[in-house]
Amino acid sequence: MAIRFVTSNEGKVREAREYLADIEPIEQINYDYTEVQSDSLEEIATHGARETFEALSSDEPVIVDDTGLFIDSLEGFPGPYSAYVEDTVGVERVWRLTSEEKNKRARFRTVLAYADETGTETFEGSVAGTLVAPRGEGGFGYDPIFEYNGETLAEMDTEAKNAISHRGRALAEFAEWYGERTDD
Ligand SMILES: O=c1[nH]c(=O)c2ncn([C@@H]3O[C@H](COP(=O)(O)OP(=O)(O)OP(=O)(O)O)[C@@H](O)[C@H]3O)c2[nH]1
Ligand SMILES: [Mg+2]
């Protein structure tokens, strides 16, 4: 049975497909679920997945991915507001905000929520890295300013990014759980 990935972000879908291709087909759908006002990615993703599953008549399970960039020197900003901050001030200015700070550490976190008729489950992944001046053409979002092991996420191909990324780790957890569950 296909899994419906509820998102407007094609980069997320590309990464999920690369990872889950052998498990289930991933179908992208747009559904404007309520983004609850919360500083918890888990709460936002769980509500989104549940609401979407209940609203659509099909039995096919849904997943929602809520991601944030948490910058140490800015007390975790933009965190759950990462999409809003990218759309308003943009990635380049987020870099400039932190370029003067001594501590350039940041962390990406993804919470993936899965919902079907039996309930909702969440899976989490995170990666720590260093903020740098933008480099690379791949990826999306904040990828060009986030360096891991000498390379920005935008300098990696999808497979290399998935192997170390917040989303890749959440997808790995999900795939393990989903595999065990469909075995029996
Ligand atoms: O450098 C990045 N590497 C990533 O792997 C990544 N994943 C998400 N993001 C960005 O973080 C915000 C998440 O917001 P978000 O979870 O609400 O997603 P979104 O609004 O883009 O799509 P949707 O799924 O909500 O429709 C948005 O600004 C995304 O561009 C990333 N940036
Ligand atoms: Mg969003």
Pocket of ligand 1 (CB under 6 A): 7-9, 12, 65-67, 82-83, 86, 139-143, 146, 153, 165, 167
The closest ligand to the CA of 31 turns out to be 1
Which tokens is 178 given? 């989903």
Nearest ligand 1 atom, CA 66 = 16
pLDDT in tens, 79-114: 999 999 999 999 999 999 999 999 999 999 999 999
Instruction: Tell the residue nearest (CA) to atom 23 of ligand 1.
Output: 7
State which H helix or E strand residue 79 sits in: strand 78-79
Output the pLDDT for position 129: 98
Report the complex ipTM. 0.98
Residues 3-24 have a mean pLDDT of: 95
Query: Ligand 2 mean position to 32 CA, how many Å?
Result: 10
Q: How far apart are CA 52 and CA 164, in angstroms?
A: 29
Output the pLDDT for position 155: 98
Output the pLDDT for position 35: 84
Beta bridge partners of 27: 4
138 Cα distance to chain centroid = 16
Residues 107-126 have a mean pLDDT of: 97
The correct answer on CATH 3.90.950.10 for the domain covering 3-183 is yes
pLDDT in tens, 49-77: 999 999 998 899 999 999 999 999 999 99
Sign of the CA dihedral running 125, 70, 80, 134: negative
Asked if 5 and 25 count as a contact pair (C-beta separation under 8 A), the reply is: no
Output the pLDDT for position 9: 97
Output the pLDDT for position 1: 85
- pLDDT of 181 higher than 90: no
Output the pLDDT for position 115: 98
State which H helix or E strand residue 177 sits in: helix 166-183
pLDDT in tens, 138-169: 999 999 999 999 999 999 999 999 999 999 99
Query: Ligand 1 mean position to 12 CA, how many Å?
Result: 8
Output the pLDDT for position 184: 59
